[in-house]
Amino acid sequence: MRIITTIWYREFLNYIRDRARIISSLVMSFTMLFVFTFALGNFDTSALGVKSIQYLLPGIIATTTFMTSISNALSVVEDKSDGFMKEFLVSPASRTSIAIGKILGSATSALIQGSIILAASPLFGMKYDLFMILGLIGGMIAISLSISSIGLFIASFVKSTMGFQMIVQMLMMPMMFLSGAYVPVSLLPDFLRVIVYINPVTYAVSAFRHLALDTTNISEKVLEKMGLILRIGNFQIKPLLSISIILVIGTIFLLLAVRSFKNVSINKVALKRGMH
C-alpha cells in the first residue's frame, strides 16, 4: 500500500507542478466548446429544453477527463527513459502496486481537470442538484480509471516519448470525435457505428449527458436521437449500463496493463541519469 501511495503522490505532484499542461488542456476544452457551439448553431436541442452550449458541456467534461487520463501515461515512458522506472522495478515493491499507483495518479489529475470544467459549467447556464453532481463525479472516476489503464497498457511497451505521443494522437482524435461529444451519434453515418460502439468515451458522453440534463417528461425516442440513450439493434444502453461498460473495459485493460508491466525487462529500462 505504501508504494501505491508514494507513486500516486509523485504523479500528483508532477501534475500540479506542470501548470502549462493544465492550462493548455483547459484552454483546448473551452475552445472546443465554443467552436462546436457555433458549428451546431442549426442543430435543434430545444427538445431537451437546453441550448447547444449546455448540450455540449457534459461531452466536454467527458472528453477533458479522457484526454488527461490517456496523456498522463506519458510519465511512464519518461520514467523509463530517465531511469526512475528502473529504481521502481528493482525495488521490493510488486509491479502490480507500481502499476496501480501510476493509474491512480493519472486518474486523480484527470478527475481534477474534469471537475474544473464541471465547476465552471454553471457559468454557461447548467443547473445541477446533488444527485447530478455525485453521478458526474462517479462517472469521471470510472472513465479516468479506465482510460488511465489503457494509457498504461500502451506506455508499458512503447520505448520513446515520441512513439507514445504518435500512438496517443492516432487514438485520441477518433475516440473524441466518434464519441458523440461534438456530433450526436444519431447523425454519424452507419459505417462508423462499429467504431462508435467499441469506444469507451461514447458511453461516458451518453451517461454524462443523461446525468447532467433534466430528462423528465422527455420521450425515449428523443433521448435516443440526442444521444442520451444509446441503441445497438433492439438493445437500449442507459446510463447505469454505460458506466458498467466503461468499468468492464477498464478492468480488462487494467489486467492487460499489469500483465504487460510485469513483463517489462529491467535490462531494457534506462538507469537513472548520473548512475552507472
Spatial distance between the Cα atoms of 134 and 142, rounded to a whole number of angstroms: 12
Under the banding of pLDDT at 50, 70 and 90, the label for residue 182 is confident
Write the pLDDT tens digit of every residue in 191-242.
Answer: 888 889 999 999 999 999 999 998 888 888 889 888 898 988 888 898 899 9
Dist CA 44 CA 51 (whole Å) = 8
Categorize the per-residue pLDDT at 156 as very low, low, confident or very high, splitting at 50, 70 and 90. Answer: confident
Instruction: Give a yes or no: residue 217 inside a domain.
Output: no
Residue 254 resides in a domain? yes
For residue 268, name the pLDDT band (cuts at 50, 70, 90). low
Residue 108 lies in a domain: yes
Q: Quick: pLDDT tens for 162-179.
A: 888 899 989 998 999 899
The reply to whether 84 falls in a domain is yes
pLDDT at 261: 73
What domain range includes position 46?
2-177+250-265
Distance of CA 36 to the CA centre of its chain: 19
pLDDT for the residue numbered 276? 41
Phi, psi of 73 (to 5 degrees): -65, -10
In a domain, 9, yes or no: yes
Element (H, E) at 236: strand 235-237
In a domain, 186, yes or no: no
For residue 2, pLDDT over 50 is answered with yes
The per-residue pLDDT of the chain, averaged, comes to 86
Give the chain's domain count: 1
| Per-residue pLDDT at 42 | 64
At how many degrees (to 10) do helices 95-120 and 74-82 cross?
140
pLDDT score recorded for residue 40: 67
DSSP string, 31-48: HHHHHHHHHTTTS--GGG
Query: Residue 273 in contact with residue 87, Cβ under 8 Å?
Result: no
pLDDT (tens digit per residue) in 47-63: 888 888 889 999 999 99
Answer yes or no: is 245 within a domain: no
Question: pLDDT above 70 covers what percent of the chain?
Answer: 90
Is pLDDT of 106 > 90? yes
Given a cut of 80, whether residue 87 has pLDDT beyond it is no
Predicted confidence at residue 117, as pLDDT, reads: 92
Q: Is the pLDDT of residue 271 over 70?
A: no
Q: How many CB atoms lie within 10 A of CB 224?
A: 18
Answer yes or no: is pLDDT of 77 > 90.
no
Q: Is residue 98 part of a domain?
A: yes
What cell numbers appear for 57 in the block? Answer: 458541456
Q: Which residue shows C-alpha cell 420521450? A: 219
